[in-house]
Structure 1
């Protein structure tokens, strides 16, 4: 039986492995599907899975909590599902994951400005060091891939702001609500808009189920069930048992996994980028070190 300290680190490492792998899954799915189809299908499949395992938990959501569940759904699931799919269509999957590392910085900033959360010197120092590593990775990636459209890099940055707002919302307004209820409630509220979006892509009328499309659907199925359904529940549990900064520090580890997948898939990586990965890990250590 793991104690609280061991449990939160287990969740952190599991989420890093799962979400670090999600970028390569989206990249592979883009061979047969459009970004908007990937975003919509990810939400729809995850909703079906969550209804199977978490339908009864919806009764635990109070009337006054639904507005925060809906806000959480929009900021951390609906919009990011589409923005990341579009981002990976324009830049390397590993670079998109690196930009996700801005989430802890945004969590501290938004938490201190709007939610009354205080932070210690080592938190700020760790995040700044982590951001330094992130900047090195981004700049070197742009140098190695000069033909990529880095306007798409704005999409993961906007998503990281949404994630940061979501963590603070859950911590302040939904702390007593169990994670499965939050996650299932999130998807119930956005599945209809996702179905409407998918319908207007011609998925139900004009799509031909070629080998590429079938493989894309397979990758999205894995991403939706494991990377969205199961991982979202675990992340909400992590928020409950740890601080907002600790829970979002998973975004420092995600690029390590994503970059390794990128290397396997033929994406370029330099020794300087490997060094940047070590700097990021040191930032994670400082963020979570007890004085």
Structure 2
């Protein structure tokens, strides 16, 4: 299949899987603390990826492990806990929409640290997108005064982690397979996640003894294996066959899926929040449109 078609298939799959991740986090938090949820998510993903990617891990060269460790903690470890803590106060739909700032963050960090060009249109796109994110946070705080919307900042921090990760993989890890990157990441993260889980004093007998805890762990198992393990392999491959901004544009449709799940679960979503969502996606569109126009001009002049 042509790469042009394949990357769109990857994008759609990731949108569906990651768009459903936020409701799974919400359900998992019913019987687990944020630290427990983040740890279980990493542990389940680690077991799956180490099993399916063991041969790929063996092919990673010694000098490449530096980037494996950096991308593991930055792109998976910290975001797993950040999202879990954020959703203790912020609706799952809002978290999924704020995650759409990832392409904007990708561009910002790309310019600051990875020599990506910053045009006037891209500046406008970033400004528009971040303005929409601010509007979403403010309107959410007004609708849900009992929720602490400062926690929404944790989602933005997680998006920044993803953005840095995308740029690192594209620039320094092109010669490592997508499965190798994912499996190597979680091989590194398995022990720290186990340590954090044990630190919480989690009672493992509760998984079978308490139906609520057992169901929450089941939700997180699905999140870890499918939403993290399988999805990360696809995402790393997408980065390698496209470019950082296109790869992070999976966040165009993640909010749609996340919003649908949130509404079905009874979350309140106002018209102003919907408008703010469109503003965020408009900013992302302007950033990507600027990139496409620049690419077109280069091809024409060549």
| TM-score, length basis structure 2 | 0.89
Pairwise mapping of residues 139-218 of structure 1 onto structure 2 (< 5 A)?
Answer: 139-204=138-203, 207=206, 209-218=209-218
Question: Residue in 2 aligned with 1:257?
Answer: 257
249-258 vs 179-188, which moves further: 249-258
Q: Give the superposition deviation at 1:18.
A: 1.2
Change (3 A) 1:119 1:244: farther
Question: Residue in 1 aligned with 2:228?
Answer: 228
In 2: Cα distance, 1:75 partner to 1:41 partner: 18
CA contact (8 A) 1:127 1:284 kept: yes
In 1: Cα distance, 2:23 partner to 2:63 partner: 38
Q: Give the superposition deviation at 1:204.
A: 4.5
CA contact (8 A) 2:101 2:284 kept: no
Q: Give the superposition deviation at 1:256.
A: 2.1
Change (3 A) 1:11 1:185: same
In 2: Cα distance, 1:53 partner to 1:273 partner: 41
CA contact (8 A) 2:7 2:241 kept: yes
Change (3 A) 1:205 1:284: closer
Q: Give the superposition deviation at 1:279.
A: 3.7
Question: Residue in 2 aligned with 1:21?
Answer: 20
Q: Give the superposition deviation at 1:131.
A: 3.2
In 2: Cα distance, 1:108 partner to 1:163 partner: 12
252-261 vs 269-278, which moves further: 269-278
Change (3 A) 1:25 1:36: same
Q: Give the superposition deviation at 1:286.
A: 3.4
In 1: Cα distance, 2:146 partner to 2:276 partner: 22
CA contact (8 A) 2:89 2:151 kept: yes
In 1: Cα distance, 2:242 partner to 2:124 partner: 19
Q: Give the superposition deviation at 1:274.
A: 2.8
2:249 is aligned with 1:275: no
Change (3 A) 1:288 1:157: closer
Superposition CA RMSD, Å: 1.9
Question: Residue in 1 aligned with 2:242?
Answer: 242
2:33 is aligned with 1:34: yes
2:102 is aligned with 1:103: yes
Q: Give the superposition deviation at 1:121.
A: 4.5
Please give the per-residue CA displacement for 1:229-256, whole angstroms capped at 9, x wherever unaligned.
Answer: 0111111111111221111122343222
- How many equivalent residue pairs? 290
Q: Give the superposition deviation at 1:51.
A: 1.7
| TM-score, length basis structure 1 | 0.92
Question: Residue in 1 aligned with 2:134?
Answer: 135
Question: Residue in 1 aligned with 2:3?
Answer: 4
35-44 vs 13-22, which moves further: 13-22
SS at match of 1:249: helix
In 2: Cα distance, 1:136 partner to 1:13 partner: 27
Q: Give the superposition deviation at 1:46.
A: 0.7
Q: Give the superposition deviation at 1:197.
A: 1.1
